């Protein structure tokens, strides 16, 4: 079979030092997974319902064979926990974001989104018939300027904790702009879920803005140690998504085995205060030169150049510290970085060692 056209693209990637390859993790210190609270690593979900079996197949889409009592019950529990009117579970955060953004705005409407929004949000926006414009990252002035030219039904999209930088959106100010311009706010809480707020309910809930948001997206694959996601909003939004959101309509529903895990995680993570405290303690060790400012479990050390950042990641591996390099084109050129994720099971000693290696000048950066 002739596949030169694929090879050519792969060779271009290789030449740019940006070829993506899959790796199996070993037992080096984990500074790369999103299992912030250790729920997956420590088997907390399995321990919470031993000897219980749930079906691995949901046997159809939610609108056909794939709806069942436990999924609706779990949606109600999740909505109550986050103080939302309604909840709709999706197979993944990617599906939830893509589905929501692609169907909620139509021709003549507008979507304004933070420039650093996750690919799943941007892909959904690209699929939408609405006009779209990005605003500079966390830049309220730029957002306001663009809001002045809003048209139709207008949506503002942001993440509460940014996945690649670990910084937070200025939500209070954004809420007030959205109120002033009468536009809808959509917040992706993927990396805030489980960590931000007294019981990990997210930044929107922590600040009391539940009723100011048109939609919130919480994912289960990160701090919750499971898989899947939920969109929170009004009952009307839920009904709309059931009718118009294509990844929801045309995909086999998430199976009972996964929903049972999500349900269990919601019984576990709100009480993991010791784990959240340990992460906060680790965060307090950062803040020195070279790291981006962040008060979340995502810390970044920018090392421009794909080859440079990959080499330093390898140097850390030799020191038993597994930190993954984030390469261009996932982040803008010159913004390549080590993305360090902190967990309740990382120790102070290994974290200090990591910081010391990166800041002592013992790592070799070309150019
Ligand atoms: C901010 C953000 N939103 C959405 C997603 C997608 O979530 P999922 O992994 O559940 O598809 C991710 C995952 O990387 C993310 O970082």
One digit per residue, the tens of pLDDT, for the chain of length 367 reads: 689 999 999 999 999 888 999 988 888 999 999 999 999 999 999 999 888 899 999 999 999 999 999 999 999 999 999 999 999 999 999 999 999 999 999 999 999 999 999 999 999 999 999 999 999 999 999 999 999 999 999 999 999 999 999 999 999 999 999 999 999 999 999 999 999 999 999 999 999 999 999 999 999 999 999 999 999 999 999 999 999 999 999 999 999 999 999 999 999 999 999 999 999 999 999 987 788 889 999 999 999 999 999 999 999 999 999 999 999 988 889 999 999 999 999 999 999 999 999 998 766 554 4
Distance 164 CA to ligand 1 centre (A): 11
Output the pLDDT for position 174.
Answer: 98
For residue 90 and ligand 1, the question of a CB distance below 6 A is answered with no
205 is catalytic: no
State whether residue 132 is helix, strand or coil: strand
How many angstroms separate the CA atoms of 89 and 96, rounded? 8
Closest atom of ligand 1 relative to the 228 alpha carbon: 10
How many angstroms separate the CA atoms of 188 and 203, rounded? 10
What is the pTM (predicted TM-score) of this model? 0.96
Output the pLDDT for position 344.
Answer: 98
Residue 153 to residues 32, 105, 237, Cα–Cα distance (Å): 39, 7, 14
Q: For residue 83, give every residue at least 6 positions away whose Cβ sits within 8 Å of its Cβ, in sequence order, or none.
A: 201, 205, 210
Output the pLDDT for position 288.
Answer: 73
Output the pLDDT for position 367.
Answer: 41
Atom 9 in ligand 1: which residue has the minimum CA distance? 93
Output the pLDDT for position 198.
Answer: 95
Helical pair 348-359 and 306-318, crossing angle rounded to 10 deg: 140
Distance 190 CA to ligand 1 centre (A): 6
Tokens of 247: 């990844």
Place of tokens 């600040």: 207
């Amino acid at each position: 079979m002739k596949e030169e056209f694929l090879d050519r693209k792969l060779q271009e990637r290789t030449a740019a030092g940006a070829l993506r390859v899959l790796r199996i993790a070993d037992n080096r210190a984990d500074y790369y997974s999103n299992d912030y609270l250790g729920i997956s690593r420590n088997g907390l979900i399995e321990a919470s319902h031993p000897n219980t079996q749930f079906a691995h197949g949901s046997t159809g889409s939610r609108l056909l064979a794939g709806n069942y009592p436990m999924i609706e019950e779990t949606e109600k529990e999740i909505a109550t926990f986050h103080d939302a009117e309604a909840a709709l579970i999706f197979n993944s955060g990617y599906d939830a974001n893509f589905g929501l953004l692609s169907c909620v705005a139509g021709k003549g409407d507008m979507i304004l989104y933070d420039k650093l929004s996750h690919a799943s949000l941007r892909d959904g926006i690209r699929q939408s018939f609405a006009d779209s414009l990005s605003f500079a990252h966390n830049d309220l002035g730029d957002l306001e300027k663009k809001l002045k030219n809003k048209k139709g039904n207008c949506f503002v999209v942001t993440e509460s904790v940014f996945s690649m930088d670990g910084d937070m959106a200025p939500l209070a100010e954004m809420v007030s702009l959205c109120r002033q311009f009468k536009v809808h706010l959509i917040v992706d809480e993927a990396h805030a879920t489980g960590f931000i707020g007294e019981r990990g309910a997210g930044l929107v809930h922590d600040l009391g803005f539940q009723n100011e948001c048109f939609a919130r997206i919480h994912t289960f694959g990160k701090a919750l140690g499971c898989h899947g996601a939920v969109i929170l909003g009004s009952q009307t939004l839920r009904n709309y998504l059931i009718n118009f959101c294509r990844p929801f309509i045309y995909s086999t529903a998430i199976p009972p085995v996964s929903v049972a895990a999500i349900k269990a995680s919601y019984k576990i993570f709100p009480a993991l205060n010791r784990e959240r405290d340990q992460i906060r303690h680790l965060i307090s060790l950062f803040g020195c030169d070279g790291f981006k400012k962040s008060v979340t479990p995502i810390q970044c050390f920018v090392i421009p150049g794909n080859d440079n950042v990959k080499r330093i990641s390898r140097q850390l591996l030799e020191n038993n510290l597994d930190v993954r390099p984030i390469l261009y084109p996932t982040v803008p050129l010159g913004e390549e970085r080590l993305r360090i994720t902190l967990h309740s099971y990382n120790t102070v000693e290994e974290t200090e060692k990591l910081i010391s290696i990166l800041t002592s000048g013992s790592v070799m950066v070309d150019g």
